[in-house]
């Protein structure tokens, strides 16, 4: 099930993938972590850009419903 979000445009998606997700994964690899699992990216999307507020690497109730 997907809950559509009107704030997630192609531009926001691209910014997230290039500036947050790719850099996070590169950092994990550079540190030599053998991470297998789910990373939850807590984001704040503003008119000035997309910002990472937190990471969760565990499933919490809202993400599993």
Q: Tell me the pLDDT tens digit for each residue of 26-51.
A: 999 999 999 888 898 999 999 999 99
Q: What does pTM read for this prediction?
A: 0.75
| Contact yes or no for 15/7 (Cβ under 8 A) | no
Sign for the CA dihedral angle at 54, 45, 27, 39 comes to: positive
Query: Looking at residues 4-31, what average pLDDT do you find?
Result: 93
Confidence class of residue 57 from pLDDT cuts 50, 70 and 90? confident
Angle formed at CA 49 by CA 29 and CA 4, multiple of 5 degrees = 85
CB proximity list for 22: less than 8 A, separation 6 or greater: none
Positions of E strands within 1-65 = 40-46, 49-56
């Amino acid at each position: 099930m997907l809950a559509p979000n009107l704030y997630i445009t192609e531009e926001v998606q691209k910014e997230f993938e290039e500036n947050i997700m790719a850099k996070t994964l590169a950092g994990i690899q550079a540190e030599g972590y053998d991470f297998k699992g789910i990373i939850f990216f807590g984001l704040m999307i503003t008119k000035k850009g997309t910002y990472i507020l937190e990471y969760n690497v565990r499933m919490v109730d809202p993400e599993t419903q």
